[in-house]
Amino acid sequence: MAITQSLEKYQYFQQRVQPLLEIIYDQSTVQTLLKQIFEILQDYSSDFHEENLNKWSQDNILLITYGNSIEKFGEQPLLTLKNFLDKYLKDTITGVHILPFFPYSSDDGFSVIDYLKVNPQLGDWEDIENIANQFDLMADLVINHISSQSDWFQQFQQGEKPGSDYFITVDPSTDLSAVVRPRSTPVITPVDTPEGEKHVWATFSEDQIDLNFANPNVLLEFIKIILIYVQKGSKYIRLDAVGFLWKEIGTSCIHLPQTHAVVKLLRELLQLVNPSVVLITETNVPNRENLSYLGNRNEAHMIYNFSLPPLVLHALIQGKSDYLKTWMMSMPPAPLGCAYFNFTASHDGIGLRPTEGLLSEQEYWTMLETMKKFGGKVSMRTKPDGSESPYELNISLFDAMKGTVRGEDKWQVQRFLCSQTIMMSLEGIPAFYIHSLLATPNDYIKLKQTGINRSINRSKLDLNELENKLSHPNSPQSIVFRELCRRIQIRRHQTAFHPNATQYTLQLKRVLFGFWRQSIIRDQSIFCIFNLTDQPQVLRLSDLNLVCTDPWCDLISGETVDNIYSCLNLHPYQAIWLTNKF
């Protein structure tokens, strides 16, 4: 009986996994690889599971933070983070994305030296698991590249196994002009080895060496790593820069079929082992390319909504909804078992490639110039023709809201709150970067210290100084933090804000942005209306076609609507959640 069950289990596994492996490797490799992967899975699951379609609800709210974004003298940062979460956010957020918490050599963690160790300057695995016991943990799988200081790359440089076979070497005379670049640095970098100088693929920097997934042993290594992260309590696995994973000379080397097959494979394996785990892809690319990572509801469970940050920023500095509304109307509902990951700021800058085809050239350059006036920087990338173009804006989102295209004004706090409320109202799961939740301004000191544009939005906050600001009711940090927490807590109880609840764009005057959400079981509707300007605006309730048999109330202000044929007066940058169930 046991042998029969084992055979049936393997056949089920083979049926799910073999077609994906055949996209990536030749047939002779696939048969061996199937057995190796099956053996690995046996250590993590005695039973295989069907898909879980109830991974999330309106209650899911994530925080994005480094392990040491908040520091306290004499205390391990991960303990400081845990204490801060317990004290200030236990009733507000449900999950936390701790950006790479491993030993690293550059890029603030995204050049990983050892995937299986916690950076001792942050804490240890016990600290990570303590956070994961109380909050849904998102862990980064930095899958495209590894630090030049890692054991694998040191083995490559010394000609030793297994690392000697884990990287991609390229003849420096090879034409790589078709390769899509996210940076202006060379795509290959020279390295000394016992066999002489070799040139290895390095998409992001000379310290971040791309791994060779054409070698199936590299895939096996990452399957083991991802399963250990799940074992340590990770509920979300973020595939960093995954779009660049597979290389093929003569192509763009981005979004290749093998890359999509690897993502599908990882989803399949996670589903077999632990169907509650969510796989999320990080692909900072134009909107259509980004959407491709949902596959046919068989690839990523979630994708970053990369077009949202620049379009919300544009709408609020221009005071008009045209481009944001057009994009939103073009966005398909997330497929069954999938969701959008909504954010307006992160540890990286505001990506500009996701605006391609969405903003006019004039509006695009006006946005860039406005951000420069507010202290922001613009990072560049090299295009296939050798020219450079803007890749991302580097600025604290709070300071990005200092004013409009007309200049700075007095509405920074209100404008910023409006931006965050738009984000948390949309279809999808909202995530707040810690420096947005805390209204952190541009960090010019860190920028000067590192010379790296992204440092402007990667502050390390002293806990005592932060708590002092939060204790002063009139400080921008206190106002923003208290009000965002209040709105988040309201949002978590509304069934119409389920990540997959119906969403319909409203046709209002251009100074307003509005959409309608309806819960999956249709027991609640919410009209989300936002004044994008620094002037009062009038909303005719007849434009919303409210049902007259229901009482209506704005959840944010608490104001009730007695006459559905009257008008609402919106203050500058006011947000309204008008609902029939409260």
Residues marked active site are found at: 240
The CA-to-CA distance between both ends of the chain, in Å, stands at: 56
Separation of alpha carbons 148 and 104, rounded Å: 10
CA distances, 492 to each of 277, 419, 437, 448, 528 (Å): 21, 18, 16, 40, 15
140 annotated among ligand-binding-site residues? no
Stated as kind and residue range, the H or E segment containing 537 is strand 537-540
Q: At a CB cut-off of 8 Å and minimum separation 6, what does 4 contact?
A: none
CA–CA distances in Å: residue 340 to residues 259, 330, 332, 426: 20, 14, 10, 9
The residue written with tokens 């409203």 in the block is 506
Q: Which value, to the nearest 10 degrees, does the dihedral of the CA atoms of residues 287, 293, 296, 299 take?
A: -160
Contacting residues for 210 by C-beta, under 8 A, at least 6 apart: 144, 145, 167, 168, 200, 201, 202, 203, 244, 247
Q: Which residues contact 214 (CB under 8 A, 6 or more apart)?
A: 168, 246, 247
Measuring CA to CA, how many Å separate 442 from each of 25, 247, 327?
Answer: 47, 37, 29
CB 349 within 8 A of CB 395: yes
Tell me the CA distances in angstroms from 530 to 516, 543, 576, 577, one per residue in order: 12, 14, 6, 9
Has 240 been labeled as part of a binding site? Answer: yes
554 annotated as a binding-site residue: no
State yes or no: cis peptide before 354, omega within 30 of 0.
no
107 is in an annotated binding site: yes
Cβ atoms of 429 and 341 within 8 Å: the answer is yes
| Structure tokens that stand for 120 in this block | 């001792």
Other beta carbons within 10 angstroms of residue 185's beta carbon come to 16
**Within 401-462, where are the H helices?**
412-425, 434-437, 444-450
Report CA 373 to chain centroid distance, whole Å.
27
Annotated binding residue 127: no
Three-state secondary structure readout of 50-115: CCCCCCCCCCCCEEEECCCCEECCCCCHHHHHHHHHHHHHCCCCCEEEECCCCCECCHHHCCECCC
DSSP secondary structure, 445-456, as one string = HHHHHH--GGGG
Mark residue 535 as left, alpha or beta (left: phi above 0; alpha: psi -120 to 50; beta: remaining): beta
Cβ proximity of 431 and 341 under 8 Å: yes
Q: Mapping DSSP to helix (H, G, I), strand (E, B) and coil, where does residue 310 land?
A: helix
On whether the CB atoms of residues 395 and 457 are closer than 8 A, the answer is yes
In terms of Cβ atoms closer than 10 Å to its own Cβ (0-12, 13-18, 19+), residue 48 is: middle
Residue with token string 């100084």: 465
Asked whether residue 49 is marked as a ligand-binding residue, the answer is no
Token code pair at residue 560: 């009730």
Binding-site residue set: 107, 145, 238-240, 347-348, 454
Binding residues for substrate: 107, 145, 238-240, 347-348, 454
